[in-house]
Structure formats: structure tokens, C-alpha cells
Amino acid sequence: MDLRYSDEELAFRDRLRAWLAETLPQLPPAPDRDDWPARRAYDTAWQARLHAAGYAGVDWPAEHGGLGASPTEQLIFLEETARARAPYVGANFVGLLHAGPTLIVAGTDEQRARHLPRILRGEEVWCQGFSEPDAGSDLAALRTTAVRDGDHYVVNGAKVWTSHAEVADHCELLVRTDPAAPRHRGITWLILPMDAPGVRVRPLRTVVGSSEFSELILDDVRVPVADRVGAENDGWRVAMVTFSFERGTAFIGDVIESRNILAEVARLARATGTAGGTLWDDPGLRREVGRLAAEVTGLWALARKNVSEAAAGMVPVQGASVFKLRFTESRQRIGDLAARVLGRASLAMSDLPGAGNGRLVEDRVNTLSFTIAAGTSQIQKNILAERVLGLPKEPRWTSP
Amino acid sequence: MDLTLSTDQRDLRDGLRAFLRDAWTADRLRAAADSPDLDRGAWRALADLGVFGLEVPESDGGMELGAAEAVLVFEELGRALVPGPLVATYLAAALLGRPGAATGATVVTWADRTAPVQVVEHLAAADEVIAAGEDGLWALPAGKVAGTPAGIPLDPLTPVSHVVELPAGDPVGRAAAWRDRGAVLTAALQVGVAQGALDLAVRYAGEREQFGRVIGSFQAVKHLLAESLVRVDLARAAVLTAALTLDDPAAGDLAEAVAAAKILADDAATAGGRCCVQVHGGMGFTWEVLAHLYLKRAWLLETGFGEPGVHAERLADRM
């Protein structure tokens, strides 16, 4: 056991640091959060830069155009880009972290050749059509149908929580192709072109006030059978491949971001005057900052332990769920602490002169989604209790 | 970077785990709770396994291993609720080379001079007391320390004595290393206490039936146990990282790693102990179920080598 990076890993880190130091100052200012075309352009331009420098698809195998980096190098990549405050993966998220890896595992050669290079170059944006208004945590209850008509499927239904739908080129879509089969066995995974006739995007306004995701309404949408990934009715298994990616290293960069936010809160507390001193004179506040700093340190230790286990060929089901549960909860506590320091300046999500409030307040509201998205905390606890602690399943009441 | 156990480390841990499972059964713990005098034979048996000499040089009869191995061993000791001044005796052997500590011939306890109230663990059983001040360490023969034993100690397996005045003693070293390593080893014990409490609670939840089903099938109970698991796993990663930083201080931030480990492990053990009592329902409030021993040990260890608030302030000062 040791904590040190190898010489090769240090060389990888140093090259990356040098490239980030040279590249980040050349970036244009980040776009307005409500300007979706500009957000797509910004995110994909960043992906194009990563590609040109050889950093696209860090976790993808080299034979599919990725970097084929080891788990430790992936950790270093996420650590260094977050530390340098490089752009977030943004509009490239589904393509790079879900759809691309799924095509690598389950797609045909033709599907891979058509999509993988374009995802890596930032030329193709994907969104996800899994959840439905009546199928959230219980994803297998999905009811969007696809009926075979010659060499096409005809799709009808509705999807929800689809990020980047307004600007996506393709959607990874789960549909029910056999309503008579047991519910996990009648599902199929399709590549839906977002410009197909019958696809309607209805943006949903989030509690932050912006429309971070949309509802998709699908009316007699025709999808070629050639755009099916995996076998008909085998879509649940294909989708589970995707989920194993989602719960892997997804939050590592966010731990660095947590530390940045906590440091900002401490700085604000030291700078905020009170009668006879500053907010930082309050030992209760300092202890809360210290406890959350311990959380962040522990989460980083856990991330490194998970990565070590992945590198040793172990499957991090336990580590990923544990990490997600604790990280999301800590992040919300950091938001509450920020609000405590901001006091009445926490009442505005836009910047007040000299208060440093805007980003912190928006972040506090935004992190409400963290304990819900990608498997709610309650579902994660069920997973840990049943799969790790070996407790019996509750009787399931499943839709017919 | 590699935070997975080597084969040797796994063997060390598994061997000790098997030994402790046989040596410290539930019946043995119940008996010790009613007659808590330190069992010198059991103490020697630990020493014979190399527990106190893990970091002692091979030329002095030790195993010349590091803090990484020590936290694996101390987690097992905590999990089995092994009683005795384990951390102080270990540190006396590893850091101070006190005669007899590594072999189990000498039982060493310690007192923190900076604490406003002096309560010393296992004073009656100890041969030597290490007194830690702000900066220095002093060795005192236990016979020279006058203490009044508490009639009813909180942890039934840990007799405590109230000490009004600590004599001067011989200077034997610096306090900083003692406190850092002591905090990490105490945190390792706490991870073990938390894991032991979780094991006991999971077993009970899988056996106890109400409403015609085992209670572990109810989400309300599952979630309590899953939360305990999360706390243990987070604390274990933090403790391991702190130990590796003790072994290689240039590879990380030692002060930060030590403080985080103690805070998270104290939380895992105290909350995990409470969870264990709660899951046992009314039986958890009885003396005959062992749940209370985990919680009481967690409360005891929480006070040693810096309670979490002190460590939290240290972390805040570094921000």
C-alpha cells in the first residue's frame, strides 16, 4: 500500500497541468445558463480542444479512440481538471459517460464507427431517454412503446428529466417492445435522432429557475431497426452496463469542487464583520467548517480507495453507493453552511454588490437534486442493505 | 498509489481476526463486564501474536512493520472489544522503546496533562503511566500515581481512576508523535467498534421477526444499517490514508489526515453503537445483549487523543 503516484503517473499529471495552464486562459467567457445553443457550443468546443490535445475519452479503450488511461490516471485527470477549474463535461456528459461506453460494449461496428469518433471530437451531443413520468426509481415500469413496422420501430410515449434535449443530436432511448414479457425482458435500447418527426421537447423549469432538463414527447416516431443497440428485448441488460459507468468515477471532480466551496465559505466568514470581530470568531461555525473539511478529506480518501480497487479488478458497487450517499449529503450541508455565513445575502441567487453570494446560493439550491438524481439516497440505501449487508428484499409490488 | 491490502496484510488481519473470534467470545465479554480486572494472560497472548511490537525493529524482537499494518490490527482489536490500554502500550513500545511493553510484560497506560479532569484507564492494572503534556512526555511508575477507582465505570470493561495530582516523572520524548499516532490508532479501534456493532445489528435484524417477517426486511431498519455501513466505510478509508501518511509524511498532509480520521471514526463508532442499540429494540437496553458495550467503548474512545470538536477546530484553522 502507498499513497504516491508512480513516475509515469506523475509525468501524465505534469503534462496535463502544463496543457491546462496554457489552454484555460484562451477559453471564451462561460455562456449564460439559459442560452442553450451557446452552452452546447462552449461545451463541445472544450471537448474538441481535449480531443486535439489527446485527452478525449480518458476512460475509453484506445482501440475505440480513447486514451485507455488506467483508473489512477483517470483519477488524476478528474482531479487536475477540477483543481484548475476547467469546464465541466456539460453537454458531452451522456455521449462520453453513457452512450459512448454502451456502444463500445453492445453496439455494432457500424454504430461505433458512426458515433464514437464524433462524440470524442465534440461533434455529436447525446441526451438520455430512460425515466418516464411513471417510471423513476422503478425504471423497469417504463411504458413508452415501440412497435415493429417493416425495418422501423414506431415509438410512442413520454420521457422525462432529459438534460440537454434542446440541443442534442441523439437520444439513448429505452422502449417497451414486448408488453407481454416479464417487465425486465421486454425492453429495447434504441438510438433516437432528435430531429426525427414526432419528437417534441418541452423544457421543465427547475427549482434553480432555469430549464436544465426537458420532457420528451414521442408521437409515432420512426426509428430504423438498424439503430437498435443489442438484441430486441435485451435493452435492460444493455442499460445496466450504462449504469455501471454512471456509478463509477462520476463524482470525483466534485470532491475537489466541494473543497473549493468550503474554502470560499471560510474566506467569507473571515471577511464578514460582526460587532467586535468577524463571523470566524464563532467556535460553533469553525467546528462545522472543520467537520465538513473532514468529510471532504474522507471522501477523497474513499475515492482513492475505490479507484485502487477498480485498478485491482474489483467491482466497486459498495464503494460507489457509499460514496454517492455521503458525498451528496455533505455537499448539501456545505450549502447550508454557506447560507449561514451569507446571512440575509443568501436571499438572492443573483450577485449582490460585494456579497459573493450568487454562485453559493445557486449551488445550495442546485444540490437538492444530488440526493435524487442517478438513484435516490433511499434507493442507494436499499442497494447497500440488500446487496452488501445481505438483508432480505422487501416484497415488491410491481406493475403488471 | 494503491490502497488495497497485500497478501501479507490480509493474512495478518485474518489471522488476528480468527484468534480474537475464539478468544473474545460473547460469553467471555459478558464475564469480563462483571469482573473487569485486566487478564494478564490474555494481554501476553496479544503480545505473543506481535500486536504491541508491530513497529518495533526486528533486532529488538519486533515485526518492523508500519502504521498501515497497525491500523489493520487495531481495527480487529476494536471489533472484538478487546479491553486494556492497547494504544498506550503500543505507543510505549513503538515510539519510546519502553522495556517490557512489546513483550506484554509491562502494561502501560497514559494520562493527558492538558485535560481539565484526570481520569486514567486501567490504572490499577498498569505498571507504568506515560504523562503527556503540551510538548513533552514523562514516564511514571504506576505505583507512584495515586488514583481513586470509579465505583461504576461507563464502559464495564474499562476501569477508570480519578487522579488529582500527577507526579513529575522522567522525560521520555515529545508529545506530538504520541498524539498523532495515538489519534490514528484510536480511530482504527473506533472503525472496528463501528464494524462490530454493525455486524451484531445486521445479524439480529436478520433473525428477529415481527409482523410475520424479519425486521431487516423493513426499509426503516435497512436504512439505519446502511447509514452505519456508509459511516464505517468512509472512516476506514480516512484511517487507512492517515496511517499511510504517518508511514510516508511527504506523501500527504499529516495534520489534516489525522484530524479527519479521528472525527470520522468517532462519528462512525458512536452513531454505529447507537444504531446497534436501537435495532435491538428493548433488548438493546439490557445488559445481556452486547450492544451497549460497543456504544460505551465508542464513547470512551471518543474522549481520547482529541475529541472530535478539537480536531474540527484544527481543520478549520488550516482552511
Report the gap between the CA of A393 and the closest CA in chain B (Å): 6
Residue B306 has pLDDT above 80, yes or no: yes
Which of A80, A166, A246, A288 is catalytic? The answer is A246
> Which of B217, B312, B314 lies at the smallest CB-CB distance from A392?
B217
Domain encompassing residue B238: 176-317
Q: Does residue B32 belong to any structural domain of this protein? A: no
Q: List the grid coordinates of A124.
A: 455529436
Q: Do A389 and B68 touch (CB under 8 A)?
A: no
CA–CA separation, B189 and B78 (whole Å): 4
Q: Is the pLDDT of residue B160 over 90?
A: yes
Is the distance from CB of B104 to CB of B56 less than 8 angstroms? no
Pairwise CB contact (< 8 Å): B263 & A294: yes
Q: What is the mean pLDDT of residues A326-332?
A: 96
CATH number of the domain within which B295 lies: 1.20.140.10
Give contacts of B244 with chain A, Cβ < 8 Å.
1-3
**pLDDT one-digit tens code per residue, A278-297:** 999 999 999 999 999 999 99
pLDDT tens profile B307-316: 999 999 999 9
Domains of chain A: 7-88 (1.10.540.10), 126-233 (2.40.110.10), 247-388 (1.20.140.10)
User: Using CB atoms and an 8 Å cut-off, which of residues 286-315 of chain A contact chain B?
Assistant: 286-291, 293-295, 297-299, 301-302, 304-305, 307-309, 311-312, 314
In sequence order, the β-bridge partners of residue A162 are A214
**What are A216's strand-pairing partners?**
A159, A201
**Do B261 and B183 contact (CB within 8 A), yes or no?**
yes
**Closest residue of B to A326, CA-based?**
B230
Q: Tell me if A147 sits within 8 A of A157, measured CB to CB.
A: no
* pLDDT confidence of residue A249: 66
Domain annotation covers residue B169: no
Using a pLDDT cut of 70, give the percent of chain A over it: 96
Q: Which pLDDT score, from 0 to 100, does residue B154 have?
A: 97
- Span B233-241, average pLDDT: 98
**Locate cell 494520562: which residue?**
B111
Report yes or no: A364 and A328 within 8 Å, Cβ to Cβ.
no
How far, in Å, CA of B54 to CA of A107, rounded?
Answer: 53
- Chain A's closest residue to B259, CA to CA, is A294
pLDDT for the residue A247: 47
Distance CA A63, CA A317 (A): 26
* pLDDT-based confidence at residue B23 (cuts at 50, 70, 90): very high
Query: Distance, in angstroms, between A159 CA and closest chain B CA?
Result: 28
Residue B47, pLDDT score = 97
- Whether residue A311 is predicted with pLDDT greater than 90 in this model: the reply is no
CB of A43 closer than 8 Å to CB of A30: no
* CA dist list (Å): A105 to A27, A230, A320: 34, 9, 21
Concatenate the DSSP letters of all residues of chain B into one string.
Answer: -B-SPPHHHHHHHHHHHHHHHHHS-HHHHHHHHHS----HHHHHHHHHTTSTTTTS-GGGTS----HHHHHHHHHHHHHTT--S-HHHHHHHHHTT--TTTTTTSS-EEEEETTSSSEEEETTTT-SEEEEE-SSEEEEEEGGGS-EEE-SS-SSTTS-EEEES-----EEEEEHHHHHHHHHHHHHHHHHHHHHHHHHHHHHHHHH-EETTEEGGGSHHHHHHHHHHHHHHHHHHHHHHHHHHHHH-GGGS-HHHHHHHHHHHHHHHHHHHHHHHHHHTGGGGGSSSSTHHHHHHHHHHHHTTTS-HHHHHHHHHHT-
Answer whether residue A316 shows pLDDT above 80. Answer: no
Q: What is the mean pLDDT of residues B190-198?
A: 98
Convert the pLDDT of each residue in B275-301 to its tens digit.
999 999 999 999 999 999 999 999 999
Phi, psi of B174 (to 5 degrees): -100, 150
Work out the burial of residue B59: count CB atoms within 10 Å of its CB; fewer than 13 is exposed, 13-18 middle, 19 or more buried: exposed
Q: Write down the pLDDT at residue A398.
A: 57
Average pLDDT over residues B217-245: 98
Chain B residue closest in CA terms to A75: B1
Q: Which residue has the cell 415481527?
A: B210
Q: Using an 8 Å Cβ cutoff, are B234 and B259 in contact? A: no
Closest CA to A244 of A315, A139, A326: A315
Would you call A340 exposed, middle or buried from its count of C-beta atoms within 10 A (0-12, 13-18, 19+)? middle
Q: Going by C-beta distance under 8 Å and a sequence separation of 6 or more, which residues neighbour residue A365?
A: A207, A208, A335, A349
* Number of other residues whose CB lies within 10 A of the CB of residue A162: 25
Judged by a CB distance cut-off of 8 A, whether residue A283 touches chain B is yes
pLDDT at A51: 97
How many distinct structural domains can be found in chain B?
Answer: 1
Which of B12, B276, B315 should one mutate to test binding to chain A, selecting the residue with the greatest count of A CBs within 10 A?
Answer: B315
Q: Sign of torsion, CA B59 B61 B66 B67? A: negative
Q: Which of A298, A388, A392 sits opposite B214 (nearest CB)?
A: A392
Task: Please name which of B253, B262, B257 lies closest in space to residue B242, comparing C-alpha atoms.
Answer: B257
Residues A337-384 have pLDDT tens digits of: 999 999 999 999 999 998 999 999 999 999 999 999 888 999 999 999
Residue B293: how many CB atoms within 10 A of its CB?
A: 26
Query: Burial code of B196-229, b = ≥16 C-beta within 10 A, e = fewer?
Result: bbbebbbebbeebeeeeebbbbbeebbbbbbbbb
In a domain, B69, yes or no: no
Nearest to B231 by CA among B279, B205, B270: B270
The total of other beta-carbon atoms located within 10 Å of residue B141's CB is 13
Instruction: Please indicate, yes or no, if residue B75 is contained in any of the structural domains.
Output: no
Determine contact, residues B172/B96, Cβ cutoff 8 Å.
yes
Residue B58 has pLDDT above 90, yes or no: yes
pLDDT digits (tens, 9 = 90+) for A228-280: 999 999 999 998 876 655 445 667 888 999 999 999 999 999 999 999 999 99
Residue B72 counted as domain residue: no
Is A246 in the active site?
yes
User: Cβ contacts (< 8 Å) between B240 and chain A: which residues?
Assistant: 1, 301, 305
* Three cell numbers, residue B149: 477507582
Judged by CB atoms closer than 8 Å, whether chains meet at B259 and A290 is answered as: yes
Evaluate whether residue B34 is within a structural domain. Answer: no
Distances (CA, A) of B133 to A15, B44, B165, B173: 47, 29, 14, 11
pLDDT class of A320 with cuts at 50, 70, 90: confident
Tell me whether residues A289 and B237 touch, CB distance under 8 A. no
Q: Is residue B130 part of a domain?
A: no
- Give the lowest-confidence range in A120-129, A134-143, A278-287: A134-143
**Do the bridges between strand A273-274 and strand B108-112 make them parallel or antiparallel, or are there none, so unpaired?**
unpaired
Determine the 3-state secondary structure of A204 from DSSP.
Answer: strand
C-beta atoms of B1 and A3 within 8 A: yes
Q: What is the interface pTM, i.e. ipTM, of the complex?
A: 0.96
Say if B140 falls within a structural domain: no
Phi-psi region of B136 (alpha: psi -120 to 50; beta: other; left: phi over 0): beta
How many residue pairs bridge chain A and chain B with CB atoms within 8 Å of each other? 180
* B214 confidence band (pLDDT: 50, 70, 90): very high
Amino acid at B20: L
